[in-house]
DNA sequence: TTGGGTCATGAATCCGGCA
DNA sequence: TTGCCGGATTCATGACCCA
């Protein structure tokens, strides 16, 4: 089953930004890389050098909003020098451009990136695309074509709370993450995570593990055991807060995702030492979490603001640039 | 943008079941009707008699599971006579057949029903399709074609809790409800419902409404007002429990949905006296809730088990059959 | 002139981490 | 602890433009 749109597949990809040598950072797990440039160009060459090496590809592409999104400078400089800037006084810079001719052009661009990402994944690996509920459906149909529907693993719903607005509709308070496996046959890499038990369960059963008691052929009743329950296996609806406006984690980069969200994905879908790839790096949340959890990382972005933000973030976490040529680029 | 599949639009609809006179029930809001037969056939004639009359169409079609679903008899007869039946001893009857040649055939069938439903809706009305996260994406693309993307209103996520299973994946714990408006211009019928404030908000702000204080050109701070907050406007992720295995509400009909879920939809999207239509009636949950809330209703199903279940449910709620011909049918 | 569409701006008012 | 601060919001409003 395919999606059709006028001009499908005819879009020419134009790499508008230079593609330099990657910058390499020393981390607990070895090293991670930052690539500057159009991700499609970068992926074309990574397809040769990194085939089958990644356990997780996470991508957070633009959501087809039709706008240019801006990064907002921090209220105070990192070294606490200078005045505290508030409101409109905080400097703004264009971070990424999310304007498209139409949805067809958007899907063409995204689809070709996803196709280029697939070869990077190991047999046990998975890809997670982060989208909103307006685009998710089209992206799912596109990915079903690329990976095969058998490889669709989960629609994860990220539920958050935010300020209310007056609208004659149910407020939108969720994003969607689509997960695909590369292979429907290879045993997947998956570590079950647990959530606290529901309040009603705690009241009825306490914290002991429940066990069904079988009499004859049917389940007679349940009972609790002494063994403490680890909680409920994590479901596909995640309650994770947005990054608070004053949170230390906030970089000012638009569309920044909470570290807690990425931590769940990386813990569940990769082991220590595995490679995590993010072709829409942005503020570098995926990389920062991967580094903290001892995973290797590879990030790509064509926005200079994104590179600067990520470099600063990794440096602040103690990961040092170690390639000479990259150090020079960063210093320039 | 369109979905293409081999043989799209060539499927011939064959009404396999007779289409009798509707059965009419007296309710608080006037009356409601039950139609027995293929819903496509029924909708073809309703399109002439009921054009523009419905405020809400809710449909809970089969989810493309590839199986025949069975109704399970209750453990005890309604009059409490006879033995209490347990486990495999409870009688089973086929309720509906969810086997399809392929997804194309499924979408063809569903799409033609949705097209036939649209004319029943008033300008302020909306349609809600209940699907699962495997089919939702295809159904959304289909509905975008039928209603236009501008009319897409919400992807509602119904989140429930259930017995955990051991699978190397995030447990599926949600269904998806897609809401469309008939007209992007007509003022929609919508009553905002409220949820309790988040625990953190209550702790910080109490139950008073917050208000931003603007000094000069920028927002200086927030403060609480005397006016009590009604809570947060209901979002698009709903935590509603599954029907417990022992709940009074449970009829034994497969795929039965909780009344609490329908109550939210009906309260938000209709007024008293409005007409609610459900072309995949099943156990009659939509009708039961509509009747309880003083809305008129119209249900269609081709399964005799569904009709029996719904009749019994409406009768138990005190709504009486009043059409002579229908009474005869029901008695036979 | 008037009527319609498009675009920038302001208002409404939870949420959560930090000082 | 108490108070702060602004956000991948969303709608109403008003300015502006063109036929």
**Does B184 fall in a domain?**
yes
Do residue B157 and residue B217 come from a single domain? no
Average pLDDT, chain A: 86
Chain A, 216 to 255: residues with Cβ < 8 Å from chain B are 217-219, 232-237
For residues B197 and A21, what is the distance between their CA atoms, to the nearest angstrom?
Answer: 50
Say if CB B86 and CB B80 are below 8 A apart: no
Name chain A contacts of B169, Cβ cutoff 8 Å.
153-154, 188, 190
**Share in percent of chain A as helix, strand, coil (round to 5):** 30, 30, 40
Question: Quick one: which H or E segment has residue B321?
Answer: strand B320-321
Neighbours of A312 (CB within 10 A): 14
Establish if A160 belongs to a structural domain. yes
A154 touches chain B (CB under 8 A): yes
Enter the tokens of residue A282.
């942005």
Question: Are residue B186 and residue B198 in the same domain, yes or no?
Answer: no
Contact A46, A224 (CB under 8 A): no
Nucleotide nearest to A241 (CA to C1'): C16
Q: Which of A171, A204, A231 is the last residue of a domain?
A: A231
Report the number of distinct structural domains present in chain A. Answer: 2
Distance A330 CA to C17 C1' (A): 32
Sign (positive or negative) of CA dihedral A301, A305, A307, A312: negative
Q: Tens of pLDDT along B77-90?
A: 556 666 677 677 77
For residue B13, is it within any domain? no
Does B255 share its domain with B217?
Answer: no
The reply to whether A114 falls in a domain is yes
| Residues A92 and A210 placed together within one structural domain of the fold | no
Determine phi and psi for B183, rounding to 5 degrees.
-130, 135
Question: Of A231, A251, A282, at which residue does a domain stop?
Answer: A231
Residues B35 and B154 in one domain: yes
Secondary element (H or E) of residue A113: helix A103-117
Q: Do B1 and A2 touch (CB under 8 A)?
A: no
How far is the alpha carbon of A279 from chain B, nearest alpha carbon, in Å? 24
**Nearest nt to the A161 alpha carbon by C1':** C15
Residue B86 touches chain A, beta carbons under 8 Å: yes
Q: Which residues of chain B fall below pLDDT 70?
A: 12-19, 75-83, 86, 214-222, 323-332
Give A86's contacts in chain B (Cβ within 8 Å).
218
B291 and B211 part of one domain? no
Write the pLDDT tens digit of every residue in A154-196. Answer: 999 999 999 888 889 999 999 999 999 999 999 999 999 998 7
Q: Per residue of chain A (332 residues), what is the pLDDT tens digit?
A: 999 998 898 876 555 555 678 999 999 899 999 999 999 999 999 999 999 999 999 999 999 888 888 888 766 555 555 556 666 667 888 898 888 888 899 999 999 999 999 999 999 999 999 999 999 999 999 999 999 999 999 999 999 999 888 889 999 999 999 999 999 999 999 999 998 776 666 666 666 666 665 555 555 555 565 566 778 899 999 999 999 888 899 998 998 999 999 999 999 999 999 999 999 999 999 999 999 999 999 999 999 999 999 999 999 999 999 865 544 555 44
Q: What is the pLDDT of residue B332?
A: 45
B221 and B89 together in one domain:
no
- Whether residue B1 lies inside any domain: the answer is no
Does residue A94 lie within any of the structural domains?
A: yes
- Note whether A68 and A28 are same-domain residues: yes
CATH of the domain at A39: 3.40.50.150
Distance CA(A52)–CA(B201), nearest Å, equals 46
pLDDT of residue A99: 84
Question: Within this chain, do residues B211 and B288 fall inside the same structural domain, yes or no?
Answer: no
Q: What is the pLDDT of residue A332?
A: 45
Report residues 174-213 of B contacting strand C, contact meaning Cβ closer than 7 Å. 197-201, 204-205, 209-212
Q: Phi/psi class of residue A240: alpha, beta or left (left: φ > 0; alpha: ψ in -120 to 50)?
A: beta
Closest amino acid to nucleotide D4 (CA–C1'):
B221
**Helix intervals (H) in B229-323:** 259-269, 285-292, 304-316
**pLDDT tens string A80-117:** 555 566 666 678 888 988 888 888 999 999 999 999 99
Q: Which of A176, A204, A231 is the last residue of a domain?
A: A231
C-alpha distances in Å from residue A14, one per residue of A38, A83, A98, A109: 9, 42, 16, 10
Nearest nt to the CA of A160 via C1' is C15
Closest CB from A5, A88, A232 relative to B218: A88
- In a shared domain, residues A214 and A281: no
Tokens 């689509």 belong to A178
User: Is B2 close to A3, i.e. CB distance below 8 A?
Assistant: yes
- Which of B123, B121, B181, B158 has its CA nearest to residue B264? B158
Asked if residue B266 belongs to a domain, the reply is yes
Same domain? B222 vs B326: no
Q: Range of B115's domain?
A: 21-193+234-331
Is B14 among the domain residues?
Answer: no
Other Cβ atoms closer than 10 A to A112: 16
* Subunit contact A155:B133, Cβ cutoff 8 A: yes
- If asked whether residues A48 and A135 sit together in one domain, one would say yes
Single pTM value for the model? 0.93
User: According to the model, what pLDDT value does residue B95 have?
Assistant: 95
Asked if residue A178 lies in contact with residue A129, where contact means CB atoms within 8 angstroms, the answer is yes
């Amino acid at each position: 089953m395919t999606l059709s749109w006028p001009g499908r597949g005819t879009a020419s990809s134009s790499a508008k930004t230079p593609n330099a040598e990657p910058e390499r950072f020393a981390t607990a797990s070895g090293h991670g890389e930052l690539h500057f440039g159009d991700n499609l160009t970068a992926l074309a060459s990574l397809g040769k050098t990194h085939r089958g090496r990644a356990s997780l590809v996470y991508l957070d592409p633009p959501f087809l909003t039709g706008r240019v999104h801006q990064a907002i400078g921090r209220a105070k400089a990192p070294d606490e020098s200078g005045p505290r800037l508030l409101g409109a006084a905080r400097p703004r810079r264009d971070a990424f451009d999310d304007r498209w001719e139409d949805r067809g052009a958007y899907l063409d661009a995204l689809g070709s990136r996803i196709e280029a990402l697939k070869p990077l994944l190991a047999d046990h690996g998975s890809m997670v695309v982060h989208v909103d509920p307006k685009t998710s459906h089209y992206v799912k149909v596109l990915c079903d074509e690329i990976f095969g529907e058998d490889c669709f693993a989960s629609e994860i719903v990220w539920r958050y709370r935010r300020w209310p607005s007056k609208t004659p509709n149910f407020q939108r308070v969720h994003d969607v993450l689509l997960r695909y496996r590369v292979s429907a046959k290879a045993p997947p890499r998956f570590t079950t995570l647990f959530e606290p038990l529901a309040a009603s369960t705690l009241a009825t059963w306490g914290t002991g593990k429940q066990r069904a008691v079988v009499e004859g052929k049917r389940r007679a009743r349940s009972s609790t055991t002494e063994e403490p329950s680890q909680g409920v296996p994590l479901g596909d609806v995640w309650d994770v807060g947005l990054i608070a406006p004053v949170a230390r984690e906030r970089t000012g980069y638009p569309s920044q995702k909470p570290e807690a969200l990425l931590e769940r994905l990386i813990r569940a879908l990769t082991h220590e030492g595995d490679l995590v790839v993010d072709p829409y790096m942005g503020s570098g949340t995926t990389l920062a979490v991967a580094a903290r959890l001892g995973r290797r990382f590879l990030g790509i972005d064509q926005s200079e603001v994104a590179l600067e933000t990520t470099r600063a973030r990794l440096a602040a976490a103690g990961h040092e640039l170690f390639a000479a040529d990259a150090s020079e680029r960063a210093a320039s």
